[in-house]
Structure 1
Amino acid sequence: MYASRKNTRVVVVGGGGTIGSSTALHLLRSGYTPSNITILDTYPIPSAQSAGNDLNKIMGVRGRSKVDMKLELEALDMWLKDELFKLYFHQTGRLDCASSNRVASLRQQYQQLVDAGKGLENSNEWLDSEDAILAKAPVLDRNRIQGWKAIYSRDGGWLAAAKAINAIGAALEAAGVRSRVSGAGSFKRPLFTSDGTMCVGAETVDGSKYYADRVVLAGGAWSPVLVDLDDQCCSKAWVYAHFRLTAQEAAAYKGSPVVYNSDVGFFFEPDENGVIKVCDESPGFTHFKEHQPYGANAPKRISVPRSHAKHPTDTYPDASEKSIRRAIDTYLPRFNDKELYNRTLCWCTDTADAAPLICEHPRWKNFIIATGDSGHCFKLLPNIGKHVVELLEGNLADNLAQAWRWRPGGDTLKSTRGAPAKDLADMPGWKHESVAKM
Structure 2
Amino acid sequence: MPAAPYQPPKNGAKIIIVGGGSFGLSTAHALSLKAKGYDIHVYDREKIPASDAASTDINKIVRMDYGDDLIYQQLACEALPIWRQWNEEVKAEGKPLVYNETGLLLFSRNGKFPDYERLSMQNIRGAGYGHAIEEFPTPESIVERFPQFSDAVANGFNIAYLNKYAGWCYSTGAVVHLYEKCLRNGVQFHQNGSHSTLKELIVENGGQVKGIRTVDGQEHFADLVILATGAWTAKLIDMEGTLTATGHAVVHFKPDAETCENYFTKDFPVWSGDISYLGYYGFPANHEGKVKVACHAAGYLNMCEDGKVSVPRTKVANPDDTLPHNSLIEYREFFGKFLPKLNELDIADSRVCWYSDSFDGDFIISPHPKYQNLIVATGDSGHGMKFIPIIGYKIAQVVEAVDNEYTRAWAWRSAGKGRLDSMRLLTKTDRQELGKGIARFAKPEELKANAIKAKL
TM range (shorter): 0.7 to 0.9
1:279 maps to: 294
Q: CA deviation at 1:431?
A: 8.7
Q: Structure 2 CA distance, aligned partners of 1:71 and 1:421?
A: 29
Q: Structure 2 CA distance, aligned partners of 1:114 and 1:57?
A: 20
1:420 maps to: 422
Q: CA deviation at 1:420?
A: 1.7
- Residues 1:84 and 1:301: Cα distance change in structure 2 (over 3 Å): farther
Q: CA deviation at 1:409?
A: 2.0
1:429 aligns with 2:440: yes
2:167 maps to: 157
* Partner SS, residue 303 of structure 1: coil
- List alignment gaps of at least 5 residues for structure 2: 1-6, 92-96, 428-436, 444-456
Q: CA deviation at 1:281?
A: 4.4
The residue type paired with residue 204 of structure 1 is T
1:322 aligns with 2:329: yes
The residue type paired with residue 42 of structure 1 is R
1:340 maps to: 347
The residue type paired with residue 133 of structure 1 is I
Q: Is the 8 A contact 2:106 2:117 kept in 1?
A: no
Q: 2:414 aligns with which of 399, 408, 417?
A: 408
Q: Structure 1 CA distance, aligned partners of 2:150 and 2:10?
A: 56
Q: CA deviation at 1:199?
A: 1.8
- Give the RMSD, CA atoms, in angstroms: 2.5
Q: Structure 1 CA distance, aligned partners of 2:397 and 2:144?
A: 44
Q: 2:281 aligns with which of 234, 242, 266?
A: 266
Q: 1:13 aligns with which of 18, 30, 37?
A: 18
2:128 maps to: 119
- Residues 1:12 and 1:4: Cα distance change in structure 2 (over 3 Å): closer
Q: CA deviation at 1:5?
A: 6.9
Q: 1:88 aligns with which of 94, 98, 109?
A: 98
- With normalisation by structure 2, the TM-score equals 0.84
Q: Structure 2 CA distance, aligned partners of 1:129 and 1:101?
A: 8
2:82 maps to: 78
Q: Is the 8 A contact 1:5 1:33 kept in 2?
A: no
1:57-81 CA distance string (max 9 Å, x none):
0111123422212211111222123
- Residues 1:137 and 1:213: Cα distance change in structure 2 (over 3 Å): farther
Q: CA deviation at 1:6?
A: 5.4
1:363 aligns with 2:363: no
1:40 aligns with 2:43: yes
Q: CA deviation at 1:351?
A: 1.1
1:386 aligns with 2:393: yes
- Residues 1:130 and 1:335: Cα distance change in structure 2 (over 3 Å): same
1:257 maps to: 269
- List alignment gaps of at least 5 residues for structure 1: 292-299, 433-438
1:23 maps to: 27
1:299-340 CA distance string (max 9 Å, x none):
x61111112222111122211111222343344323422111
The residue type paired with residue 61 of structure 1 is M
Q: Structure 2 CA distance, aligned partners of 1:84 and 1:195?
A: 47
Q: Structure 2 CA distance, aligned partners of 1:31 and 1:130?
A: 55
Q: Structure 1 CA distance, aligned partners of 2:283 and 2:350?
A: 16
Q: Structure 2 CA distance, aligned partners of 1:98 and 1:17?
A: 33
Q: Is the 8 A contact 1:98 1:106 kept in 2?
A: no
Q: Structure 2 CA distance, aligned partners of 1:95 and 1:154?
A: 9
* Partner SS, residue 103 of structure 1: coil
Q: Is the 8 A contact 2:133 2:164 kept in 1?
A: yes
Q: Structure 2 CA distance, aligned partners of 1:71 and 1:302?
A: 31
Q: Structure 2 CA distance, aligned partners of 1:394 and 1:197?
A: 20
1:245 maps to: 255
- Residues 1:102 and 1:62: Cα distance change in structure 2 (over 3 Å): same
Q: 2:52 aligns with which of 44, 49, 52?
A: 49
Q: Is the 8 A contact 1:278 1:328 kept in 2?
A: no
2:201 maps to: 190
Q: Is the 8 A contact 2:394 2:407 kept in 1?
A: no
1:130 aligns with 2:139: yes
2:158 maps to: 148
Q: CA deviation at 1:230?
A: 0.2
Q: CA deviation at 1:169?
A: 1.6
Q: 1:62 aligns with which of 54, 61, 65?
A: 65
Q: Is the 8 A contact 2:64 2:124 kept in 1?
A: no
* Partner SS, residue 100 of structure 1: coil
- Residues 1:366 and 1:251: Cα distance change in structure 2 (over 3 Å): same
> Sequence identity, in percent?
26
The residue type paired with residue 306 of structure 1 is R
Q: 2:228 aligns with which of 208, 218, 222?
A: 218
The residue type paired with residue 346 of structure 1 is C
Q: CA deviation at 1:49?
A: 2.3
* Partner SS, residue 401 of structure 1: helix
Q: Is the 8 A contact 1:243 1:339 kept in 2?
A: yes
Q: Structure 1 CA distance, aligned partners of 2:90 and 2:362?
A: 24
Q: Structure 2 CA distance, aligned partners of 1:84 and 1:413?
A: 41
* Partner SS, residue 52 of structure 2: coil
Q: Is the 8 A contact 1:128 1:149 kept in 2?
A: yes
Q: Is the 8 A contact 2:249 2:324 kept in 1?
A: no
- Residues 1:74 and 1:95: Cα distance change in structure 2 (over 3 Å): same
Q: Structure 2 CA distance, aligned partners of 1:271 and 1:94?
A: 15
